[in-house]
Amino acid sequence: MVDIYSTLPAIVPILALLYARNFDQSFTVTRNNWDLEYDYIVVGAGSAGAVMANRLSEDSQWTVLLLEAGGSDNILSDIPLAAANLQQTPLDWAYQTEPQEAACYGLINRRMHWPRGRVLGGSSVLNYMVYVRGNRRDYDNWVRLGNIGWSYEEVLPYFIKSEDNRDPSIAFNGFHGIGGYLTVSTPPDPSQIALAFPEAGKFLGYPNIDLNGPIQTGWAIPQGTIRRGARCSTSKAFLLPIKDRPNLHVLTFSYVTKILFNEDKRAIGVQFDRFSLTHVVYARREVIVSGGAVNSPQLLMLSGIGPADHLREMGIPLIADLPVGENLQDHIYPGVHFSLKEKGVAIVQKRVVSLPNILRYFATGRGPLTILGGLEGLGFIKTKYANYSDDYPDFQIHLLSGDLSSDDGQSFRRTQGISRELWEQYYLPYVNYDTFSLYPVLLRPKSRGFIKLRSTSPYDPPIIDPKYLTHPDDILSMVDAMKISIAAGLTPAYRKFGSQLFSRIVPGCEVYPLLSDEYLACQARTYTQTIYHPCCTCRMGPAHDRKSVVDPELRVLGGVKGLRVVDASVMPVIITGNTNAPIIMMAEKLSDIIKGVRLEPMKVPDDETRRSSVGETDYAYVDELFNMAKNEFIASV
């Protein structure tokens, strides 16, 4: 039996630190009563919905209701390094894709787990907190598709509006904001593996840059949405500061199951379930859907907005025939893993998650627990399939200072759905090793998938089929990016730690010559993972484009009135980078559109000025290092 009194001297300081560190969560923004009618109803309190609720309620004449299906975040979700541990918990919708025909061979039943935030703050509570805005070409291309008002120079002020950048070396370069709601900073204590990353990029021909500055093609230790070493979700950033605003009501555990329309196709309210009871609330002005790339199309289709044939098949009365759920895109990656001869330089869970590190984190906001889910480096590169005359990289290398075995198989194996065969043959032998991984993320995939209803019940998860790697160009460019990643891990920056490519053969790929293009393609199709960026299922575009679901002011088309969508689903084409910051920007911009306000565009350097600073792959050096890796690999197996 434990003598609790003898342990009090050790427990009391820890409890005091927990209380102090949890100060941001000590106030609630939620309530248990509400009105029958509001000016605006926002559905979903995620990366976009929290911003919309804040900005619309700035007008004291408007009343705003924010409805969230989940509850509040907690002290564990605040710890950056714990990001993966939040998946498949009550904070997560825990979706799964359909079995993939051209990818995910090493996952259980060829299904990929799709975590999505079911909590105030949405996926900004579950994500890896990376703050990346995308490429200027992305937004200029949106305009070329007919989305007037969404050019890079027009959206840049809205990125800056949100931002409170706390890194002096970056904050004042003209591309960042200070004093906004969203705190952005660099983790204070990078590992030695992280510090080597920009140096590895220089060996391959890429400069160390501000990833959100004038150019994107380069390598860096990334900034993240962290504040005092802890996660800064959109709930913490945009909702907690306005907890006493009387015209904003926030309801948690309120799952919207249907949008209500009158005979003129005007959205007049929503139906939602809360603690097993069904309620209706009405909107005088508009309903704004911010459920994300999965939940928003599901809700629209359940409410009668979607492909006519599909809704007819499901027996749902049609409000508007629109291509809801189509055009699904996502960022995916294969794994390139390295073991290290030097010990103590990578992130190994049983070494890093220690009492001294926990106390240091809660007391000072420092130490390895502040690392962004283990992600410590981002490198935007151009494969041989990219346009070398432009600053438009086609892959983004993510550095993780470990691999799937770094937690002894406790979380990563489960949350990523790794099959027993892949785990035992490829990853298990590296338990207790110091390792690191380079994940080349395919930034502009050509494969397209879809989301459809599984049934008419809002409690049945929808059918999610991203059709990963079904377009042949995707796997060709991915193989080239894997070669660049292999070379990066063997540059002098990492060779000094004794880096060596994993010397195990990927199960199922034994029939191909080792490290041949066919072998690397097989490896990519075996271990395929999402970087959590599903988008584009309620495509923004001009009304005359039959692929459009919402117009450039994010109003639902098809004769529908009083209904808008703002989240990743409205992107017409996936952006070149992580999606959280762009989603926040889109909500900032839409709130001004509704208010009739317009920020002035910002002039940025022209292409010719920027082009001299853009990096490009030194293929002679890549080939040399890759051939060295190939020879070592063949010799070791």
Which residues are catalytically annotated? Answer: 533
Q: 227 forms bridges with which residues in the sheet?
A: 230
| Distance separating alpha carbons of residues 405 and 28, to the nearest angstrom | 38
Tell the residue number behind the tokens 């007919």, with chain if given: 146
Distance CA 350, CA 346 (A): 12
Beta bridge partners of 332: 530
Look up tokens 């080597």; give the residue.
Answer: 196
Cβ neighbours of residue 261 closer than 8 Å, sequence gap 6 or more: 267, 268, 303, 304, 319, 560
Residues contributing to the annotated binding site for FAD: 119, 127-130, 256
CB 302 within 8 A of CB 456: yes
CA angle 270, 275, 277 (to 5 degrees): 55
Amino acid identity of residue 468, one-letter, is Y
Q: How far is it, in rounded angstroms, from Cα 336 to Cα 324?
A: 36
Question: What is the Cα–Cα distance from 501 to 48, expressed in whole angstroms?
Answer: 40
**What is the H or E stretch that residue 592 is in?**
helix 580-595
580-595 and 152-162 helices, crossing angle to 10°:
100
Name the pairing type of β-strands 95-96 and 113-114.
antiparallel
Helix (H, G, I), strand (E, B) or coil at 171: helix
**What phi and psi values does residue 201 have, to the nearest 5 degrees?**
-60, -40
- The C-alpha atoms of residue 451 and residue 340 are separated, in whole angstroms, by 42
How far apart (Å, rounded) are the C-alpha atoms in residues 569 and 239?
22
Residue 586 CA neighbour count, 13 Å, CB half: 31
Residue 24 structure tokens: 């941001």
As a whole number of angstroms, the distance between CA 186 and CA 222 comes to 6
Considering only CA atoms, give the Rg of the chain: 24
